Amino acid sequence: MASPSTQADRATAPERVLGIVRQLLGELSSESAIRDLDLRGLSAHLERGLGLGSLERVELMLRLGDAFHVQLPDKAVAEADTVEDLLHAVLGEGAGTGEMDGASPEARYHPGLAGTATTLAPRDLAPDLAAAQSLNEVLRLRAFATPEQAHIYFKEEDGKTQPITYAELLERANAVAGSLLLRGIQPGNTVAIMLPTCPEFFPMFFGILLAGAIPVPIYPPFRADRIEEYAARQSGILRNAEAKMLVTFQQAAGVARLLQPKVPTLREVVTAARLVEDPGVSPSASVPGAPGRALEANWHQARSQDLALLQYTSGSTGDPKGVMLTHANLLANIRSIGEGIGIKPDDVAVSWLPLYHDMGLIGAWLVPLYFGVPLVVLSPLAFLSRPERWLWAIHHHSGTISPAPNFAYELCVRKIVDRDIEGLNLSSWRAALNGAEPVNPQTIERFVTRFAPYGLRSEIVLPVYGLAEASLGIAAPPLGSGLKVDRIARDPFEREGRAVAVAASAAPANDEAGVLEFASVGLLLPGTEVRLVDAEGRDVGERREGRLWFRSASGTQGYYRNPEATRAILCGDGWIDSGDLAYRAEGNLYITGRAKDIIIKGGRNIYPHEVEEITGRVNGVRMGCVVAFGLADEKSGTERLIVAAELRNSSARDRVAADITEQVAAVIGMPPDSVELLPPHSIPKTSSGKLRRSETKRLYLEHRLGKRFLPI
């Protein structure tokens, strides 16, 4: 069946769609969601009622596409609200839905490009950037030396490619800078960017820098039609950053009215297109209040010690943490990464990573910019809705370097079918970097096995390690070294922090025999030092777990307007506490966990205290009796978000579970994977009343959560 076109097919489609949704909910062990689906049927809300976040929605779309032999548009993934919306999509009643039967894999991936290879423009000689003091200078030197050289190839959903040259990027950034200055933005002001991955992001970022201001990228909403309510929830970050302006997209008409009372410094909310297209902006225009002083005199003057970026690592409640990074910090890390992974003149980067995140912004864009490497860009939604697009982009453009979080590799293994990658060739890929969340060695092994028939070489998939406080990178294996796994005995490691090696012939990892596996993240990047210390700050020995401190020229000076959080990470003499745990063995670094309680799901940081605060406000939940934690999930290759909450009474369990799901999803942009509702006094606490998250997690894994506990 090509599509449910006959009357009989259309008549059975509702029940088939409901059955597919019910099956997925069953696999997710979401009993309350199944009850909601049974109660509401087609009107059940995907997020609020069923708790389906972006990753789960993608899985659902893939199953529906396979079952009905249709290709659902990316818009359906992002904007479907209810099960009925999904039904309309598979019946071809949504824009862009197309039949898959008879189309080649390349045609399904790139209409109009089937059977062709995309040749990138030849590259000119690169300028010498070793003495550059700022990102502004890097862009200027690139644009003046190779103005017609294409820097970015932006992939649209319809398969078309939009190239952006260095000269075009500088020209558009100049226009943005001029518009900002004419609107009263001054050097040192902060300007927030709330944009999805789009061509406008790139000149917007540099336009802010050229104006002498500080860009503050923040997580954009998954759905464009909800930007107003989403922006209102970002007021904590905007207030901490003292943002003078918020740059966003067209649907932001009423955001200023909502935000300005909550963010006293915010003067204006403006669309990216408006800044680029403002009439009369030119380098020779005058600065407001300073007749005769050209705008151009105000840009290109950045100093190495000036702030170039505020990278926020926390959510919208609590104490927002904006990592302060200077031009010097960023350039030091960019140069270190380039040397560490051995970037070459003929490299081609491919990325779908979000630009608000350090791995996408710095690793996938600014590193290629510095080294003159072309960058092929897909949107995150393009990857999530059809993961094979990422691999086809590498194929079409002979991509050599492409990073992604662990979950992306797992998604490719589990969701890409053979018919969608017929003719795929990955032999050009030489650095498949796996970072931004815990690395699962089994995921890498499965990825290599799955795509080896398509030219993927086992030695190119490499775990890497870094964090925003280091600008980005700290460690990476030598290229071509492949995956190195250390197998250790579980008991001495969990009891004493000793990483005792186990012979390869021992029982498989993570089984009852007690063997753990950790992937090496390789060697320290040039210019980076690491110490592993105990609770008193004393160095631990070889094969001993310790807290990871680092020191480098790319390390932050702290968090913007947050002295308490800054004091917590600065350890003296330039050392910074990463909050991660690790051990060393035979020169390799192994990351074992987090001393901090952060949860990383799909490459995104989620802070337990934020989820707990949101949940605690739900009617029926006992305030201060909520614990949120992450749980590694082999199926998705990332962590699941678990929320455990004590109830005042058990009479409204389904309503409370639905409210928790809705409120958490509304604030952090993704629902919890599981909500555990417990009787009073079930969650363990210390004698002083503090939550014991690790103990709660242990009880959950042992199926003992829900028993009554007294403080200890």
pLDDT 10s digits, 558-574? 999 999 999 999 999 99
pLDDT 10s digits, 43-72? 988 877 787 776 677 778 878 888 888 877
> What is the mean pLDDT of the segment spanning 115-124?
50
How would residue 2 be classed by pLDDT, with cut points 50, 70 and 90?
very low
User: In this predicted structure, what is the pLDDT of residue 490?
Assistant: 81
Nearest to 415 by CA among 56, 28, 21, 59: 59
Give the Cα separation of 462 and 467 in Å (integer).
17
Both structure tokens of 439 = 């690395």
User: In this predicted structure, what is the pLDDT of residue 710?
Assistant: 40
User: In this predicted structure, what is the pLDDT of residue 325?
Assistant: 98
User: Which residue intervals of 342-387 are DSSP H helices?
Assistant: 358, 367-371, 380-385
Higher pLDDT: 114 or 451? It is 451
User: In this predicted structure, what is the pLDDT of residue 309?
Assistant: 97
Q: DSSP for 12-32, please give it.
A: HHHHHHHHHHHHHHHHTT-HH
pLDDT 10s digits, 450-493? 999 999 999 999 999 999 999 999 999 988 888 999 999 988 88
User: In this predicted structure, what is the pLDDT of residue 12?
Assistant: 87
User: In this predicted structure, what is the pLDDT of residue 432?
Assistant: 96
Give the Cα separation of 352 and 375 in Å (integer).
10
Indicate the range of 10-24, 102-116, 127-141, 616-630 predicted with least confidence: 102-116
What 3-state DSSP class applies to 396? helix
User: In this predicted structure, what is the pLDDT of residue 110?
Assistant: 44
User: In this predicted structure, what is the pLDDT of residue 6?
Assistant: 59
> What is the mean pLDDT of the segment spanning 654-661?
86
Indicate the range of 27-31, 188-192, 487-491, 690-694 predicted with least confidence: 27-31
pLDDT 10s digits, 198-238? 999 999 999 999 999 999 998 877 665 566 666 666 788 89
Q: What is the dihedral of CA 612, 613, 616, 618, to 10 degrees?
A: -110
Q: Which residues pair with 73 in a beta bridge?
A: none
Both structure tokens of 274 = 């408006």
Indicate the range of 299-308, 573-582, 585-594 predicted with least confidence: 299-308
Nearest to 394 by CA among 433, 360, 426, 430: 426
User: In this predicted structure, what is the pLDDT of residue 70?
Assistant: 80
**For residue 496, how many other CB atoms are within 10 A of its CB?**
11
> What is the mean pLDDT of the segment spanning 503-520?
66
Nearest to 344 by CA among 544, 504, 529, 123: 123
96 pLDDT more than 50: no
How would residue 125 be classed by pLDDT, with cut points 50, 70 and 90?
low
User: In this predicted structure, what is the pLDDT of residue 353?
Assistant: 94
User: In this predicted structure, what is the pLDDT of residue 519?
Assistant: 93
Both structure tokens of 156 = 């649209």
Return mean pLDDT, the chain.
Answer: 83
99 pLDDT more than 50: no
Nearest to 220 by CA among 242, 203, 237, 207: 237
Provide the whole-model pTM: 0.81
